[in-house]
């Protein structure tokens, strides 16, 4: 049972009736405080004939909600994961789910896909049932404290500047070359590039804005402003002269779809002789971050440029900044004899025992 506001401005109580169907009742109030009081007083008579809400029924309701609130890519992850969940543990009442079902899912999927992928799915499942808890469909989330798969530490794969130049030289289509260069100098995600519109471009102030609209949802729903370097600015100024669509990157007046973009880029990599399976379009985003860190840009600045919600996500690039730490450790100085070419024989005190 939960409260939700209708487009007409009134708050409604949503609940499952005795026959297991979802129903709603108006609180007759537009004020949430009054609606909460109504909710507290609202009672449903328990009935032994009431049917419990099954997993398949809940998934339908959840995905309808997710479609309106999540980005396309995120929705696809939820959809695929919840389909897998139903296949693996069957169509149980959601009130009957236990940590054992979590382990069953984990041990089944780890035989099929990489551990990192399984962890994405497990986090998706946990978030799904946090929503069920918030909707008061379950009394607790049985998966809230369950462990993830153990994943060996890995680093993002990115292009060297030499390999990137080889790739650029291999691309014959101007539209694809512009997109690839734009991706590596802005760090934008594939969907952000594909859905970028001219209304989001500010050439005067050298920035672009990433934000949700009626057809595109940003990751985490956040809005961010991205600065443009000289390369990105040049590409946009050239394209501004020949606008044929509301989308910045278009082909024959139509939006360049993200899937098509990735497919064409993968073909280019094969033609270049690059067979590394982990290199793909998203590697351009990793390349943007990696090059910045290698050039001494702080992890915190890279976090903001990438639009990460936590610096922990950005820390996967921190290993690339090791060479830049020499200047930091040299701030610790001991007054050795500077006239001597060799370090003096310094005797350190023995550690005290006891």
The CATH number given to whatever domain includes residue 178 is: 1.10.443.10
Residues 185 and 278 in one domain: yes
Residues 194 and 307 in one domain: yes
Q: Is residue 50 part of a domain?
A: no
Q: Is residue 141 part of a domain?
A: no
Q: What share of the chain is helix, strand, coil (3-state, %, to 5)?
A: 50, 10, 40
Question: How confident is the model at residue 202, as a pLDDT?
Answer: 96
What's the CA gap between 67 and 125, in Å, rounded? 16
Question: How confident is the model at residue 353, as a pLDDT?
Answer: 44
pLDDT of 343 over the 50 cut: no
Q: Is residue 155 part of a domain?
A: no
Range of the domain at 110: 55-134
Give yes or no for a contact between 314 and 308, defined as CB atoms under 8 angstroms apart.
Answer: yes
Q: Is residue 290 part of a domain?
A: yes
Residues 307 and 182 in one domain: yes
Question: How confident is the model at residue 331, as a pLDDT?
Answer: 64
- Each residue of 272-326: pLDDT tens digit? 887 667 889 999 999 999 999 988 899 999 999 999 988 888 888 887 775 555 5
Residue where a domain stops, chosen among 83, 116, 134? 134
The beta strand positions in 77-217, using DSSP E, are 201-202, 207-210
Q: Is residue 139 part of a domain?
A: no
Residues 115 and 73 in one domain: yes
Residues 185 and 130 in one domain: no
Domain CATH number, residue 73: 1.10.150
Q: Is residue 342 part of a domain?
A: no
Residues 196 and 130 in one domain: no
Residues 15 and 104 in one domain: no
Residue 78, classified by CB atoms within 10 Å of its CB into exposed (0-12), middle (13-18) or buried (19+), is buried
Question: How confident is the model at residue 291, as a pLDDT?
Answer: 93
Residues 200 and 97 in one domain: no
- Rounded to 5 degrees, what are φ and ψ at 265? -70, -40
- Each residue of 8-25: pLDDT tens digit? 888 888 877 665 677 788
> How far is CA 78 from each of CA 63, 66, 151, 195, 295, rounded to the nearest angstrom?
8, 8, 21, 21, 37
Residues 182 and 262 in one domain: yes
- Each residue of 250-284: pLDDT tens digit? 998 899 998 999 999 999 998 888 766 788 999 99
Residue 33, classified by CB atoms within 10 Å of its CB into exposed (0-12), middle (13-18) or buried (19+), is exposed
Question: How confident is the model at residue 349, as a pLDDT?
Answer: 52
Give yes or no for a contact between 11 and 32, defined as CB atoms under 8 angstroms apart.
Answer: yes
What's the CA gap between 93 and 318, in Å, rounded? 45
Residues 76 and 35 in one domain: no
- Each residue of 69-119: pLDDT tens digit? 888 888 999 999 999 999 999 999 999 999 999 999 999 999 999 898 999
Question: How confident is the model at residue 44, as a pLDDT?
Answer: 54
Q: Is residue 152 part of a domain?
A: no
Residues 123 and 165 in one domain: no
What's the CA gap between 3 and 63, in Å, rounded? 18
**Highest-scoring range by mean pLDDT, 9-13, 94-98, 155-159, 329-333:** 94-98
Q: What predicted TM-score, i.e. pTM, was given to this entire model?
A: 0.63
Residues 115 and 242 in one domain: no
- Each residue of 24-71: pLDDT tens digit? 888 878 888 887 877 777 765 444 445 789 999 999 999 999 988 888
- Each residue of 209-247: pLDDT tens digit? 999 888 888 877 788 999 999 999 999 999 998 888 999
Look at the chain and report how many structural domains it folds into.
Answer: 3
Q: Is residue 140 part of a domain?
A: no
């Amino acid at each position: 049972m939960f409260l939700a506001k209708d487009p007409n401005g009134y708050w409604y109580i949503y609940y499952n009736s005795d026959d297991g169907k979802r129903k709603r009742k108006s609180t007759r109030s537009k004020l949430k405080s009054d609606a909460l009081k109504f909710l507290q007083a609202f009672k449903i008579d328990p009935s032994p004939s009431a049917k419990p809400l099954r997993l398949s029924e809940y998934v339908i309701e959840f995905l309808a909600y997710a479609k309106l609130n999540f980005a396309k890519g995120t929705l696809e992850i939820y959809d695929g994961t919840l389909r897998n969940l139903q296949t693996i543990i069957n169509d149980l009442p959601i009130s009957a789910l236990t940590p054992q079902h979590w382990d069953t899912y984990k041990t089944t999927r780890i035989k099929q896909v990489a551990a990192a992928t399984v962890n994405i799915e497990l986090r998706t499942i946990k978030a799904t049932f946090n929503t069920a808890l918030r909707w008061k469909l379950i009394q607790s989330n049985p998966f809230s404290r369950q462990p993830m798969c153990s994943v060996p530490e890995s680093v993002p794969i990115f292009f060297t500047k030499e390999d990137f130049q080889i790739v650029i030289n291999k691309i014959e289509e101007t539209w694809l070359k512009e997109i690839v260069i734009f991706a590596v100098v802005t760090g934008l995600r594939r969907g952000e590039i594909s859905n970028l519109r001219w209304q989001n471009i500010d050439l005067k102030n050298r920035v672009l804005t990433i934000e949700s609209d009626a057809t595109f949802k940003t990751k985490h729903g956040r809005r961010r402003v991205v600065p443009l370097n000289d390369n990105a600015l040049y590409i946009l100024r050239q394209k501004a002269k020949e606008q044929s669509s509301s989308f910045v990157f278009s082909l024959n007046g139509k939006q360049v779809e993200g899937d098509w973009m990735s497919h064409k880029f993968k073909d280019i990599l094969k033609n270049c002789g690059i067979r590394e399976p982990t290199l793909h379009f998203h590697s351009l985003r990793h390349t943007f971050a990696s090059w910045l860190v290698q050039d001494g840009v702080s992890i915190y600045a890279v976090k903001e440029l990438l639009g990460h919600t936590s610096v922990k996500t950005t820390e996967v690039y921190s290993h690339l900044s090791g060479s830049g730490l020499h200047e930091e450790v040299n701030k610790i100085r001991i007054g050795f004899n500077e006239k001597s070419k060799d370090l003096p024989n310094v005797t350190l005190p023995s550690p005290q025992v006891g």
